[in-house]
Structure 1
Amino acid sequence: MDPIRIAIVGIGKIARDQHVPAIRGNSAFSLAATVSPHDAGLDGVPHHASLDDLLAQGPAVDAIALCTPPQVRYDLATQALTKGVHLFLEKPPGATLAEVEALKVQADKVGVSLFAAWHSRFAAGVAPARAWLAERKIEKVSIVWREDVRVWHPGQAWIWQPGGLGVFDPGINALSIVTHILPRPFFLKDATLVLPENRAAPIAADLSFRDTAGAAIHMDLDWRQTGPQSWDIVVDTDAGALKLAHGGAVLTLPSGTEHGEDVEYAGLYARFATLIRGGRSDVDTSPLRLVADAFLRGTRQTTQAFHD
């Protein structure tokens, strides 16, 4: 079977650090081209300054991974879908829920695969955590997701603009895990969003959720943490506590601790290949919906200006 010819649109840090190695490590794919108006691309790989140029001039591609900021993703996605190209959407899958729903409809009409890629769901501890929790009574959940924005998003102005999500850019990773591992749906009850006086998106947030059986879920997000970073989820159950640490890579159960390898993007591309070969899509918007609810219902507080 011939490999799936894929192009990466948007050659930033996440594309270079994660997408390129994952594609090159998966024999189901061949990296056919890259697209970016601001980057020279990769040695030995055809490069174009725009998606228009790629689609008009080639090389031919079967799939595209969109790694651009979410605010500009919809037009690029529709352009690719119009050409019958399978589509991988980096998280978040779009700047709004409505545009993602529109892409789902278009992908179905064209008959191509659309994949909203929540990479944290493929962390090593997530699948066994989901299986263990399926048979437990959930009592409460604590999520602490604190990191240093200067380390992970240096100089990325788009992330502070409307649609860039601010601290919810990493926070949505936690929500992608929790919506996947908890056995019941949950919804927002209250939120406080802390916005720097010179930014349009929050630098911190405190959120309270409740699942449909009444279990409390608390989430603490902050982008001002220095030193060790915190990406932890603790689920208290009737059988003891489950903890996911290091973004889901380390799972601790009452019976002990399991450490996993960094397999997130390898898992994403394995899933994308399966979807394409099977003629299916996977577009779960539940993490983005919870973020949208936080902006819809949250109380806003202003804090001092933030500068990189």
Structure 2
Amino acid sequence: MTHSSASRQPVALGLVGLGTIARNQHLPSLAAVPAFRLAAIASRNATLDTLPGYPDIDALLAAEPEVTAVSLCTPPQGRFEQAASAIGAGRHVMLEKPPGASVSEVEALAAMARAKGVTLFATWHSRAAAAVEEARRLLANRKISRVEITWKEDVRHWHPGQDWIWQPGGLGVFDPGINALSVVTRILPSALHPVSAVLDVPENRQAPIAARLSMVTADGAPVEAEFDWRQTGPQTWDIRVESDGPEILLRMGGAELHVAGEKIIAAADEEYRRLYARFAELIATGASEVDLSPLQLVADAFLLAERRTVAPFHDPALPG
């Protein structure tokens, strides 16, 4: 049975986790997407005055039977249990990136969702940047010769006081770097795999602060990536693609598209609005979307990497 979008009632959604990304992106985006109605919050440390709040997802699921979908904005460590609880309770689930602490645990969640008949959406917000689909279209029939990724930002600005990113499963500099990998795996016309990697790990942390990753496409084109969390001043999120056509340059994480040096697209950030609109489509059609290729590239990088110890990283808000 089908229903027009005008006749469908908004889906009651529970938001799990109320940290920086939830406040800056998820809350305003949900307010702008009429397909959803934010109905409840689950967070250990925060609440919203206007909504019911619960200390964890299990309490939310037990108390809010009308909530048919949940969006998980918590760190990847421990997210498997949260998603499994929601799927087991028959709720649709949207996962922040990275979708989990390992590839195999998200594959297990996908199998659970299929068995239960609910939607699982593993999101990659940078794929929803304004210029990504046009870049994909322009490259669809091109012979790629070289790709350069430069993804450098200031961790103290973007992740102040966040200890989980430095722990096993937190990915370190691959937390932003996986955004670049999500775009590359979307726009290139052939698959790619890592051949070598170097990880720079602060002596007082468990995860890398910088990384260099060498990959190759199935057609033999080199893909070089440089990730660094130590850049201050202007931030760099660039992907340059050389082919038998005009050079393609995605800047600002995919918000800008330059073709042969000319700026073609420059748009405001509406990535999360697009993600929630896509989540609504998946729920309405009974489908799931779980592409783990960006996470697999990161997992392979850790498998292949030479690990180098570098100077300690200090954040006044963190231990050590």
Please report the TM-score for the alignment, with normalisation by the length of structure 1.
Answer: 0.98
Whole-Å Cα distance in 2 between the matches of residues 134 and 58 of structure 1?
Answer: 45
Match of 2:307 in 1: 300
* Structure 1 consecutive aligned stretches of length 4 or more whose deviation exceeds 2 Å: none
Whole-Å Cα distance in 1 between the matches of residues 31 and 48 of structure 2?
Answer: 12
Shift of 1:254: 2.1
Match of 1:98 in 2: 104
Moved more, 223-232 or 233-242: 233-242
Question: Deviations along 1:219-255, whole A, 9 cap, x unmatched?
Answer: 0000000000000000011112100000000000127
Whole-Å Cα distance in 2 between the matches of residues 192 and 57 of structure 1?
Answer: 47
Whole-Å Cα distance in 2 between the matches of residues 293 and 106 of structure 1?
Answer: 25
Secondary structure at the aligned position of 2:78 is classed as helix
Q: Output the amino acid matched with 1:99.
A: E
- 2:298 corresponds to 1:284: no
Residues 110, 59 of structure 1: alpha-carbon distance in 2 compared, 3 angstrom cutoff: closer
Whole-Å Cα distance in 2 between the matches of residues 226 and 106 of structure 1?
Answer: 43
Checking the alignment, whether the CA contact within 8 Å between 1:9 and 1:36 is kept in structure 2 is yes
Match of 1:267 in 2: 274
Q: Output the amino acid matched with 1:249.
A: A
Checking the alignment, whether the CA contact within 8 Å between 1:33 and 1:59 is kept in structure 2 is no
Secondary structure at the aligned position of 2:227 is classed as strand
Whole-Å Cα distance in 1 between the matches of residues 91 and 108 of structure 2?
Answer: 16
Match of 1:30 in 2: 37
Residues 142-291 of structure 1 mapped to structure 2, 5 A cutoff: 142-254=148-260, 256-257=262-263, 258-291=265-298
Whole-Å Cα distance in 2 between the matches of residues 55 and 66 of structure 1?
Answer: 13
Match of 2:49 in 1: 43
Whole-Å Cα distance in 1 between the matches of residues 156 and 89 of structure 2?
Answer: 38
Whole-Å Cα distance in 2 between the matches of residues 255 and 278 of structure 1?
Answer: 40
Secondary structure at the aligned position of 1:70 is classed as coil
Match of 1:109 in 2: 115
**Structure 1 spans left out of the alignment, 5+ residues:** none
What root-mean-square deviation, in Å, do the aligned CA atoms of Structure 1 and Structure 2 show?
Answer: 0.8
**Structure 2 spans left out of the alignment, 5+ residues:** 1-7, 316-320
Whole-Å Cα distance in 1 between the matches of residues 238 and 20 of structure 2?
Answer: 24
Match of 2:22 in 1: 15
Whole-Å Cα distance in 2 between the matches of residues 190 and 218 of structure 1?
Answer: 10
Whole-Å Cα distance in 1 between the matches of residues 65 and 205 of structure 2?
Answer: 40
